[in-house]
Amino acid sequence: MSVAINFSDSAMSHPRYIVVTPARNEEANIRHTLASMIGQTVRPALWIIVDDGSKDATPSIVEEAMGEHAWIRLVRRPDRGARKQGGGVIEAFYDGYSLIGDTPWDFLVKFDSDLSFDSNYFEKCLAKFVTDAKLGIGGGMICQEHEGRLTCEAPGDPAFHVRGATKIYRRPCWEAIGGLLKAPGWDTVDELKANMLGWTTYTFKDVPLRHHRFTGSADGTWKNQVKFGLSNYIAGYHPLFMFSKCLKRLFQPPYLVGAVGLAWGFCKGYLQRIRQVEDPALIHYVRQQQINRLLFRPSLW
């Protein structure tokens, strides 16, 4: 299955992008993100920040920036009382997305509120899309800073994966995949479906971002590993591939906890009859790619 990929020359010579940023209790980090975005050589046409029930000064910090920059908007959601892993951030994202209205755009960005990045970050990212007509989803490399050096936060990610903290969607690709799944695994399902439809997806390893809060630190190691396992179940991963993944994780930190958490999250999906992605063609595609990997054939993995 494939999708026709067409772009106008005018759109790519003057790309317009809109950013939607869910934020919750980010007063310690969001100033970094605000300063970096305001300093971009190619600014977004619109930046919608969704305050997802913060109890700290996050919304007031954003309001201060709004007073000086008309292209920044704030949406406030009520506090739901607790973090909602996976789906919660997408619910917040869609509250922001609904405000785009008739604002024209060529690229849509889902972006976190605890990042800092160079002034030419988006200029460099958009240039990647210009040079690769089949690129549907991309984004910079999420890094941690140690002793003045940036190191990749997740070097073991598959080549097709773009971290959920910085996802740039080309508009025809966004429309082809039908948006984002409101459940754990959304940031893998989107890429898998894009690849199934003939697009490419990858991280720009030469365009780094600084992550000021390590991924998953809000929930802890165990909860995160269970979430990842459940995400893999929802995305339709093949049980044999998942078994292989858990075996491999036994020998990677966090030792044992990572493997057991992944396995429990995956099995939990079956035991609780949690709904998988409602796309049989996609599940078939994913499992075939994973079987190919297990048999050492060409594969997304």
pLDDT tens string 184-207: 999 999 999 999 999 999 999 999
Indicate if 29 and 114 belong to the same structural domain. yes
Indicate if 232 and 84 belong to the same structural domain. no
Q: How confident is the model at residue 163 (pLDDT cuts 50, 70, 90)?
A: very high
Q: How confident is the model at residue 4 (pLDDT cuts 50, 70, 90)?
A: very low
SS (H, E, C) 160-216: CCCCCCEEEEEHHHHHHHCCCCCCCCHHHHHHHHHHHCCCEEEEEEEEEEEECCCCC
Indicate if 250 and 148 belong to the same structural domain. no
Q: How confident is the model at residue 8 (pLDDT cuts 50, 70, 90)?
A: very low
Indicate if 251 and 129 belong to the same structural domain. no
Instruction: Tell me which residue has tokens 């190191």.
Output: 151
Give the tokens for residue 270: 């079956």
158 within domain boundaries: yes
Indicate if 139 and 252 belong to the same structural domain. no
pTM over 0.85: yes
How much is the mean pLDDT over the chain?
92
Confidence check: pLDDT of 7 > 50: no
Indicate if 190 and 234 belong to the same structural domain. no
Indicate if 143 and 168 belong to the same structural domain. yes
Indicate if 63 and 161 belong to the same structural domain. yes
Indicate if 233 and 204 belong to the same structural domain. no
User: Domain ends where: 211, 229, 262?
Assistant: 211
Q: What is the average pLDDT across 28-46?
A: 97
Cross-strand partners of 107: 17, 170
Give the tokens for residue 226: 């269970």
Indicate if 169 and 270 belong to the same structural domain. no
The domain that holds 116 is classified in CATH as 3.90.550.10
Q: How confident is the model at residue 181 (pLDDT cuts 50, 70, 90)?
A: very high
pLDDT at 125: 98
User: Domain ends where: 211, 236, 252?
Assistant: 211
Q: Encode pLDDT of 210-238 as tens digits.
A: 999 876 555 688 999 999 999 999 999 99
Indicate if 63 and 38 belong to the same structural domain. yes
Q: Which of 214, 215, 168 is nearest to 190 (CA)?
A: 168
Q: Where would I find the beta strands (DSSP E) of the chain?
A: 17-23, 46-52, 72-77, 107-111, 115-116, 135-146, 149-152, 166-170, 200-211
202 within domain boundaries: yes
Q: Identify whether 253 is preceded by a cis peptide bond (ω within 30 of 0).
A: no
User: Domain ends where: 211, 237, 270?
Assistant: 211
What percent of the residues of the chain are helix, what percent strand, and what percent coil, each to the nearest 5? 40, 20, 40
- How many domains does the chain divide into? 2
Q: The dihedral of CA 147, 36, 55, 187: what is its sign?
A: negative
Confidence check: pLDDT of 3 > 50: no
**55: which residues sit within 8 A by CB, 6+ positions away?**
25, 79
Q: Which of 180, 194, 270 is nearest to 232 (CA)?
A: 270
Confidence check: pLDDT of 39 > 50: yes
Q: Taking a C-beta distance cutoff of 8 angstroms, is the pair 256, 222 a contact?
A: no
77 within domain boundaries: yes
Question: Minimum mean pLDDT among 70-84, 88-102, 128-142: which range?
Answer: 70-84
Domain interval for residue 227: 221-294
In order of 64, 67, 163, the CA distances from 45 in angstroms are 19, 16, 23
Q: What is the average pLDDT across 33-44?
A: 98
Q: What is the average pLDDT across 88-107?
A: 96
- Percent of the chain predicted with pLDDT > 70: 91
178 within domain boundaries: yes
pLDDT at 168: 98
Question: Minimum mean pLDDT among 32-41, 67-76, 208-217: which range?
Answer: 208-217
Q: The dihedral of CA 273, 237, 95, 153: what is its sign?
A: positive
Q: Taking a C-beta distance cutoff of 8 angstroms, is the pair 141, 207 a contact?
A: yes
85 within domain boundaries: yes
Q: How confident is the model at residue 79 (pLDDT cuts 50, 70, 90)?
A: confident
301 within domain boundaries: no
